[in-house]
Amino acid sequence: MEDWSARQYLKFEDERTRPPRDLLAQVPLVRPRRVVDLGCGPGNSTELLAERYPQSDIVGLDSSPDMLRKARQRLPKCSFIEADLATWTPEPDTDLIFGNAVMQWLPDHPAIMRRLLETMPQGGVLAIQMPDNTREPALIFQREVGESGPWADDPEVKAAARDDLPPPEAYYDLLKPACSHIDIWHSVYNHVMGSAAAITEWFKGSSLQPFLSPLDAAAREKFLAAYTQKIVGAYQPRFDGKVLLRFPRLFILAVR
């Protein structure tokens, strides 16, 4: 995956940090020894963990040097490692593995979550949040534009769309045998956006990236114009000109 742009991602920092707050609020641990933030990005989710657990060793892990640079600047007291979470193994004293908005990028993430859970000490917590928005207009339009432009035959563009998440039952059947307690829930956020075009800006920092990164500057412009046209048609302004971005998310909290 192309290096993520930390600056673009942080344009909507308040909204993007709400789900990890909601996830962390459900974590029952009082004083975990080591806490790892998988896919820590620019450190916004890591900062929440450091505030809640000032006595713990807090580690951020990400595969993007750009994101890690930003995270290190923001949180000089935390440790950060560059790694691929698909092959990473936690230290034995890792009591909390937190992964906000990262697992959805790995198609085999259910098996990775099971593996991680199995390595954790008894009472350890695996806490995961993923966007469950592949059936929302904003994501459907990404696929439609990807399939219809001059870029339609580019193998990277063809592979850019995320698969739908498995249903909650699939996570339950896979994870429950390896844990003492599991909590699975959905929240649907309705983010207030300044305009429909702001929805394009939002997704430029996340799910549009794999569509855009294989393209040259002119093709990117064309892709974004076609996408924004569809967004403007589907996301109607409210009485004050603002637009609501409906955003379903899946939360999973498993206690070893």
CB atoms within 10 A of CB 35: 25
**Please, which residue, 16 or 256, has the CB nearer to ligand SAM?**
16
| Closer to ligand SAM by Cβ: residue 3 or 173 | 3
Sheet with 181-193, side-by-side order of all strands: 79-82, 57-62, 34-38, 94-100, 125-131, 243-255, 181-193
Contact 181, 217 (CB under 8 A): no
**CB of 123 closer than 8 Å to CB of 256:** yes
Taking the complex as a whole, the smallest distance from the CB of residue 11 to ligand SAM amounts, in Å, to 12
CB 230 → ligand SAM: shortest distance, Å? 23
Q: Which is nearer to ligand SAM, 102 or 113 (CB)?
A: 102
- Nearest to ligand SAM of 129, 228 (CB atom): 129
Q: Other C-beta atoms within 10 Å of 86: how many?
A: 13
d(CA 105, CA 196): 25
Interface with ligand SAM (CB under 6 A): 4, 16, 20, 39-41, 44-45, 62-64, 67, 84-86, 100-102, 105-106, 206
Residue at shortest CB range from ligand SAM: 41
Question: CB 238 → ligand SAM: shortest distance, Å?
Answer: 26
Least spacing, CB of residue 180 vs ligand SAM, in Å: 26
Q: 40-73 burial, b if ≥16 CB within 10 A, otherwise e?
A: bbbbbbbbbbbebbeebbbbbbbbbebbbebbee
Q: Which is nearer to ligand SAM, 16 or 191 (CB)?
A: 16
Radius of gyration of the chain (CA): 19
Q: How far is the CB of 138 from ligand SAM (least distance, A)?
A: 15
End-to-end CA distance of the chain: 31
User: At its nearest, how many Å lie between ligand SAM and the CB of residue 62?
Assistant: 5
Q: Which is nearer to ligand SAM, 26 or 148 (CB)?
A: 26
